[in-house]
A and B are shown apart, each in its own frame.
Chain A
């Protein structure tokens, strides 16, 4: 009963009134700005984190792109190099074939020329031999008229003369 007797309804009413007033004032002037600011800050942190993640992701994509481009360039370079090598080889082999063909042709031409010269020489010789033979024969015939010994001598002399030619 002591507890009930000392229960102060005045204090009870004051407490209710003052607490509700405090609650409303704090809600308007403190809790709302505080919670709003904290919410906003959390949102901005979250978005900043997301942005960083996005940037990271983009950079990785970019890096992958670069890598791919690099690889492609390498392949292309290799292809170009190979092509160049092939072209070079072709040119060399072509040149070689052309050169050898030319050589063969030159050799053939030379041979032909030699043949022609040879034939001409032989013909010349033949003509000379014929004229020589005629000369010898003429001389021999002339010697026979004088002496046998002198005939023989004459022949030898003529032969030596022809040899000298």
Chain B
């Protein structure tokens, strides 16, 4: 009980917002946990099925409506659930119950979670189906991922604002934590933005590139902490980032960019000959506009998800067999350590690749004719 109070105090001090002031998990008897996978404190308990392990991994890769700080200790921070379903519904995620099996009533409607997703249900907890589909409200909850996005954003604001301020204070020389970030900022400017976009126009895209690089990198690194955060391995997040890249590319596209897509041959051929070629080229070029950012979203999503899956599978190896544990446990430990190191590299690499390719697409979008000729003369 003392530990629980300590947890409460800790959480309250860290997250002062009234939203998080709700009490952590309510009392549960020990027998309640049997279905959950809390064997960390009972080493000899290795009785789960393969399906349980798979579910455990999947659960940890998914977004969640509450923030589980320490599963075994029931340090769970409930977060606001916000649903838009003929009006606004707001309630604490704690109301779904510890196992998230409870039905929540809000403004005359009932909601129930199934595999991490909130569905409309009837009062008994049975999911409502219309036209063969479960009814899903628009879920604008502050989920674990949204929370992490906000935390990362605040961290970035704090870090880079202090870096920005330190220049004026120290006469053009950076001081403090930001100093570590300055070479990276300059690297993105000199090695990513300028070579890909060009000296003339890079300034317009640089804030986006810097923001997206550090955002992805920091979230990738958070993903390696034991908090079980998997923001960049969530397809909704990577899709949103890719959509932003897509919009920025095509909304700032120059005349030459569109000419490159719809009239790549220019004056090289008479009009009538070009037309037949363009019947083939146009669909390819138009598809290319969408495929480029789509590849961004899939690459980041798949890499991060795969990394997390591999890491968790290796950790789960420890629970596979009690008989072979003398071999399996050290092996799993070594392998998961090695994979963690690789993931540390991947975290940076994926942020770099995303930023690099975004810069490349911005470079296409902002290309002008003289740039084009210059490129050919090399």
Contacts and interface: CB of A to CB of B under 8 A. Distances in A.
A8 interface: yes
Main secondary structure of the interface of B (DSSP, over half): helix
B331 interface: no
A145 interface: no
A7, A19, A23, A29 pick with most chain B CB within 10 angstroms: A19
A27 B143 CA distance: 26
A6 B167 contact: no
Contact-size category for A: 20 to 34
Nearest to A15: B240
Contacts of A18: 146, 149-150, 153
Contacts of B186: 38
Nearest to B170: A37
Interface stretch (B89-97, B134-142, B267-275): B134-142
Contacts of A40: 172
A27 B207 contact: yes
Contacts, number: 127
B241 interface: yes
B164 A8 contact: no
Interface string B112-152: 00011100000000000000000000111101011001100
Nearest 5 A/B pairs, CB to CB: A37-B167, A30-B160, A33-B164, A15-B240, A10-B139
27 contacts: A7-B235, A8-B117, A8-B236, A9-B138, A9-B139, A10-B141, A12-B240, A15-B240, A19-B215, A19-B241, A21-B153, A23-B207, A26-B156, A26-B207, A26-B210, A26-B211, A27-B207, A31-B160, A32-B164, A33-B164, A33-B165, A33-B167, A34-B182, A35-B185, A37-B167, A37-B174, A38-B189
Interface of B: 62-63, 82, 115-117, 138-141, 143, 145-146, 149-150, 153, 156-157, 160-161, 163-165, 167-168, 172-174, 182, 185-186, 189, 203, 206-208, 210-212, 215, 234-237, 239-241, 243-244
